[in-house]
Amino acid sequence: MTIELKHADCLEYLRTLPDESVDLVVVDPPYFEIIKDVWDNQWESEQEYLNWCKEWTEECFRVMKPESCFYVWGTTKQDTFLRYKLGVLNNVPGAHYQNWIIWSYDWGGRTKKKFPRKHEDLLMYSKGKDFTFNADDVRIPYKMKKNVRATAQNNPLGKLPTDVWTKNNHTTSKEYAGWHSTQKPITLTERIIKAHTKPGDVVLDCFSGSGSTMIACSNTNRSFKGCEYDKDYVDKSLKRFKSLTTPATKTRGKQKRSLNTIGDKAPSNNIMSTKGHTP
């Protein structure tokens, strides 16, 4: 198992990877003018943003192995994510839509003028119609110990989660990173990884941000390949990685960590280069 995080532009990094070399992609790209941070407001128009999304999405599918999966986080606070799904993802050769997952939470501030919005969206696509799904690796406990149907029995391993995932990410939790505005829960990322890969497989995240995918890979004994444009995020996510990875993976003899930046110079200042945003 290897853990490799590069300080690099997403497109420049993706173009260095061989065809069909990763087993799973989990990404959380900029939303486009939703977050106040600079990295979410670097495009002059929505179309320019979608054109950029088309480039990195096609690169992700190029490096994915057949029957592997692609997960992308987003928000429907505005219609941009819908246009990305319909105009970009649905037109990627070989991409097949499989799931629209909702991450539901009940914490943080809330409006009193309408029903408070407390969810984010997660799209799942596969490369080809068929894909790996390890159902028994992601089962959860039943709410009722005994099946209400007289002729049915509960699976001793538990039930499959639905497409609504509930997980609060309180500011008091150990994994909370106050320096990153859009981090995603590590446990939910681990669920994605376990569902579609086996130990030793390669998971890609080209918007590494707070490092949740990297940490989840280490905790589940999967190899990680990824990049992050923002050097401050790189440095802070490496510290977060050391504090949140399980002791077993920290001491595992076969684990190799490659956490250096690409050279000593920062990536090129290209407006189409994202300032890292991920789980």
Closest CA to 137 of 70, 197, 207: 197
pLDDT digits (tens, 9 = 90+) for 222-259: 999 999 999 999 999 999 999 999 654 443 434 555 55
User: What is the pLDDT at residue 274?
Assistant: 37
User: What is the pLDDT at residue 151?
Assistant: 79
Q: Residue 135 pLDDT more than 80?
A: yes
Greater model confidence, 21 or 273: 21
Contacts of 197 (CB under 8 A, 6+ apart): 23, 24, 132, 134, 203, 222
User: What is the pLDDT at residue 87?
Assistant: 98
Secondary structure of the chain in HEC code, one letter for each residue: CEEEEEECCHHHHHCCCCCCCEEEEEECCCCCCCCCCHHHCCCCCHHHHHHHHHHHHHHHHHHEEEEEEEEEEECCCCCHHHHHHHHHHHHCCCEEEEEEEEEECCCCCCCCCCCCCCEEEEEEEEECCCCCCCHHHCCECCCCCCCCCCCCCCCCCCECCCCEEECCCCCCCCCCCCCCCCCCCHHHHHHHHHHHCCCCCEEEECCCCCCHHHHHHHHCCCEEEEEECCHHHHHHHHHHHHHHCCHHHHHCCCCEEECCCCCCCCCCCCCCCCCCCCC
Which superfamily, per CATH, for 2-258? Vaccinia Virus protein VP39 (3.40.50.150)
Greater model confidence, 258 or 109: 109
Q: Residue 266 pLDDT more than 50?
A: no
User: What is the pLDDT at residue 277?
Assistant: 45
Q: Residue 181 pLDDT more than 50?
A: yes
Mean of all residue pLDDT scores within the chain: 87
Q: Residue 270 pLDDT more than 50?
A: no
Q: Where do the structural domains in the chain lie, given as residue ranges?
A: 2-258
Q: Residue 28 pLDDT more than 80?
A: yes
Greater model confidence, 110 or 163: 163
- pLDDT tier for residue 179 given thresholds of 50, 70 and 90: low
User: What is the pLDDT at residue 246?
Assistant: 66
